[in-house]
Amino acid sequence: MLEIAEFISPTPSPVWRLAKQAGVDLAVGGLPPDDLLQGEAPWDLAPLQRLKQRYEEAGFTLKVIEARPPLNKAKRGLPGRDEEIATVCTLLQNMGKLGIPVWCYEWMTDFNWVRTNLATPSRGGSVVTSFALADVPEDLTTNPPIGEDDLWANLDYFLKKVLPAAEAAGVKISMHPDDPPLSPIRGVGRIMRSIDNYRRLVDSVPSPMNTITLCQGNFTLMTDDLPGAIRGFGKAISFVHFRDVEGTPEAFRETWHDAGKTDMLACMRAYRDIGFDGVLRPDHVPTVEGDSNEHAGYSAFGRLYAIGYIRGLHQSVYGA
C-alpha cells in the first residue's frame, strides 16, 4: 500500500523532529555526508550503513536514496563514463545489501531543476518558486549543445550497464522527469519530458527494476489527465513526488498542494487502483510566515501543511 514519507536530509535538522511530530516514520534520504565517510566514498557499504543507522536511531526507516554520484560524463557520453557508471553499480549493490529498495536518479545534463524566481508571491504572503523560459540566463551552462538523440543513446548505454546490477541487488532505479519538462534549454536537450518518452524509457530495456519517479509537478505539465497517466504506467511507478503547479512548461509556478491544476484526490485514487506499493513524499512546498526561504521549495513549516493535506487524502481513499 502507498505510504507517506518525507525527504530527511542526511544531516540532522529541525525537519527530523517536525516530521516525526507529523507522524512520518519513513525517510527519503541523500548520500552519506562527510562526517559519515571516514575516508570512504559515499556509495561504499560502510558509510551507507552508518547513514541507515543514523536514520534508524531517529526512528526513521530509509526507503529511498534520492541523490546521485557524479553522472554528467555518462549523460554526455564522454571519456570516464564507465567509471561513473561503476560507482552507480557499487551504490546499487550496497543498497541491496542494506535493504534500501529504491534509487531515484535523473537524466538532466549539465544542470538539474531550473527556476527563474525563487520568491514568487503566493497565497497569504507565502512565496513559491516559478519558471519563465524567457528569463533563463544565457550562461546557464558553458558546455557545448547536446541533442536528444545523443541523450537517448547514452541513456541506453547506461541502462544496459546498470540494470543487471540493479536486478542482482533487488533495487529499483527510478527515473525522475526533467524539470521543467521542456527541450532544449540553452542548447541542452532534455528527454524525460513527455508521457511517450517515459513509455520509451520503460520499454527500451525491459526490467522490473527499470521504473519511474512520478513527480506530479512535472507530469501534470505533460498531460491534462494525470490520473489516467498514473493508471497507464501502473506497476512501472516506484516512487511519487506529490506536488502541483499552474501554467505551462514554458511558464509556470509552484502552488500550494490544494491550489494547483491537478485533481489531487483523483491522483490518490489512481495510486490505490494500480496497487501502488511504495512511498510518496511531499515536494516543493511554499515558504510560509516564520520560516526561511534559504532552501526554496523545502520550507520546514510548509512541509507540515503538505503532510497534513496528504494524510487527509490518504485516509479518505485508503481509510484510517
Which tens digit of pLDDT belongs to each residue from 259-315?
999 999 999 999 999 999 999 999 999 999 999 999 999 989 999 999 999 999 999
For 15, phi and psi rounded to 5 degrees? -60, -30
pLDDT tens string 129-162: 999 999 999 999 999 999 999 999 999 999 999 9
229: Cα within 13 Å, side-chain hemisphere: 22
pLDDT band at 320 (very low <50, low <70, confident <90, very high): low
Residue range 126-131: average pLDDT?
Answer: 98
Q: Find residue 7's DSSP bridge partners.
A: 28
pLDDT tens string 187-232: 999 999 999 999 999 999 999 999 999 999 999 999 999 999 999 9
> Using an 8 Å Cβ cutoff, are 120 and 130 in contact?
yes
Which parts of the chain fold into alpha helices (H)?
14-21, 45-57, 72-76, 81-98, 148-169, 195-204, 216-219, 226-233, 264-273, 300-318
Say which residues have a Cβ less than 8 Å from residue 274's Cβ, sequence separation at least 6: 230, 231, 233, 234, 235, 237
pLDDT band at 83 (very low <50, low <70, confident <90, very high): very high
> Nearest 5°: CA angle at 90, between 88 and 95?
95
> Using an 8 Å Cβ cutoff, are 120 and 191 in contact?
no
Instruction: Strands of 203-263 (E only): list them.
Output: 210-215, 237-242, 245-248, 251-254
> Using an 8 Å Cβ cutoff, are 73 and 117 in contact?
no
At position 227, the amino acid (one-letter code) is P
Tell me what pLDDT residue 319 has. 86
Distance CA 31, CA 17 (A): 20
pLDDT band at 1 (very low <50, low <70, confident <90, very high): confident
Distance CA 6, CA 297 (A): 13
Give, as one character, the DSSP assignment of residue 185. B
CATH architecture of 3-319: Alpha-Beta Barrel (3.20)
Pairing outcome for strands 251-254 and 127-132: antiparallel
Tell me what pLDDT residue 176 has. 98
pLDDT tens string 244-270: 999 999 999 999 999 999 999 999 999
Tell me what pLDDT residue 99 has. 98
Residue range 96-107: average pLDDT?
Answer: 98
pLDDT tens string 34-73: 999 999 999 999 999 999 999 999 999 999 999 999 999 9
